[in-house]
Structure 1
Amino acid sequence: MKKIALITLLSFGLLLSCSKDSDVTSSPDSNTNLKAGNLLTTGASARDLLSNDNFDKLLIEIDYVTGFAPTAGAIANFEEFLLARTFKQTIEFRYSAVPATNEESLTLQEVVDLEEENRNEYNNGSTLAVHIFFADAPSEGDADNSDLVTLGAVYRNTSMVIYESTVKQMASSSAAITTEEIETATLLHEFGHLFGLVNLSTQSVNDHEDAEAENHCNVDGCLMRAEIQFGASLLKQMQQNASKGLESVPDIGPECLLDLQKYGGR
């Protein structure tokens, strides 16, 4: 991952939104039984994602609207993270271009509907499938003229959305940050929630959940801190990391690492 000093962009807020399964519904489908393993609550597949007990291959389907595909660098960083934190040695990425949404903004339910329409890969044998949609419209939760914006959200056990239009807008506002860094931070944080962090269908080894921010860590500097939701706090942490010669994107903290090991990871 690139080492950069993030000085500008302080006028923006970063919200890595972690949606609950009660927010989404599924329409009836004749193949529901085949998809059942991918329709569970967020964090329910933590052990399957981290260990090789039931699945030894990870297949990540990336659906994107043309012009909103992720950068190669962010996906490389993402793969490095997965290899470091899980016991998976076989990780495959499959890309599919999907039609433009033609929406000014997207509700989470609309994201779910788009997944059901476009997703091709589901668990099969010893292969565990994850779906990530790179959207061409922002989240409906982003208020007009607000500094608080949503970059990504997880829902269910193998589903994620990245609001790539928002990522690009933020990156274009400053010469000190790139699309790759924003994508990397968003992907890693959100996948941490698919790993069950913090207390999502799992129970932590030690109590480190932020009392004021459900399912986030209270350890300073951790990637899973709720402070990553706010631009000034996140950028301050990334700037401090870069000034010390460390990777600018925050890493998983010690308490979250203990949890990952408990759930079957490294």
Structure 2
Amino acid sequence: MNRLISFFFLIFILAVSFGCKKDSKRRIEKFHRQDVGYSAFGILSDKDYKSLTVEIIFMTGFKPTDLAIDNLKQLISAQCNKPDGVRFIFREISPQVKSSYSIDDVVSIENEYREEFTYRKDLAICFLFLDGPSSENQGSSMVLGQAYYNTSMVIYEKSLKDNSGGFGEPELYKLETTVINHEFGHILGLVNNGTEMYHPHQDAANGSHCINSDCLMYWEAETGSLFSNLIGNSPIPTFDSNCLKDLKEKGGR
């Protein structure tokens, strides 16, 4: 009799444990499927999350340059309050050799390969670097990167490689830095998309972008219109004073 009771008790414990794991997975998935800008405060401040994990998933042959990653690290250090540090995880996956990628394709890849998720006091974000262009490209008009969830961004690395390094083209790391940091700016809630404006500076005609053409959050920074702005000694754009003020008021440095 005691053995029978113990058996059913064990079954009960296993069922509860399995149910808890499923609930936990649902909560994780729900947290990472919010609108762009939803986690701006969590990424910027140290109130809810003390550390940040940045997962870099790249297809073979399309890993971002070390210089671009170093520049992203500097931006995070300058803007985000994370006393327990920032951890970078690099994950290489096989190319899919698609002619182009839709956002649905991107989400499917993230669902299959992403392994780092927010846990306790550590908030996780994810970048995907792909071996093909965006399906939203039209002629000479290109989409170079997109923030599509609150912790998720895609960089169309092949488009960056195809339009850099040659005569009359920008250096690859400059193009990467601009697009990567621009998309990160979007998940930080810029402009007026999760992080409120201290002073009006949104370019409403172009969505969540800044009216200042010299600012990192100007709309051209994620499109092919950017190329000519980075040639030669042209500087890599940074957040202007209005964007910096917005980030600080939201909990950033």
TM-score tier, shorter chain, comes to: 0.7 to 0.9
**Structure 1 residue 100: Cα displacement:** 1.6
Residue in 1 aligned with 2:95?
100
State the shift of 1:220 in Å.
4.0
State yes or no: 1:135 paired with 2:146: no
Q: Among the aligned pairs, what percent are the same residue?
A: 33
When residues 211 and 185 of structure 1 are mapped into structure 2, their CA distance, relative to the original with a 3 A threshold, is same
**Could you tell me which amino acid in structure 2 is paired with residue 39 of structure 1?**
R
Structure possessing the higher radius of gyration over alpha carbons: 2
Task: Kindly state the Cα deviation for residue 176 of structure 1 after the two structures are TM-superposed.
Answer: 5.1
Shift of 1:229: 4.9
TM-score by length of 1: 0.81
Which of residues 18, 31, 38 is equivalent to 2:32?
Answer: 38
How far is the alpha carbon of 1:78 from its aligned partner?
A: 0.6
Instruction: Say which of 176, 185, 192 aligns to 2:178.
Output: 185
Q: CA deviation at 1:88?
A: 2.1
Quick one: structure 1 residues 46 and 91, their matched pair in 2 at CA, closer, same or farther if it must change by over 3 Å?
A: same
Gaps of 5+ in 2: 1-21
Which residue is 1:264 aligned to?
251
- Aligned counterpart, 2:190: 197
Alpha-carbon distance in 2 for matches of 1:173, 1:94: 30
1:214 paired with 2:207, answer yes
List alignment gaps of at least 5 residues for structure 1. Answer: 1-28
What is the aligned-residue RMSD (CA, Å)? 2.0
| More helix, by proportion | 2
1:113 to 84, 108, 112: 108
User: What is the aligned counterpart of 1:152 among 127, 145, 159?
Assistant: 145
Taking the aligned partners of 2:36 and 2:180, their CA distance within structure 1 comes to 15
Partner of 2:242: 255
- Which residue is 2:57 aligned to? 63
SS in 2 for 1:199: coil
How many residue pairs get aligned? The number is 230
Q: Quick one: distance in 1 between partners of 2:42 and 2:250?
A: 9
Q: Residues 132, 254 of structure 1: CA spacing in aligned structure 2 closer, same or farther, 3 A cutoff?
A: same
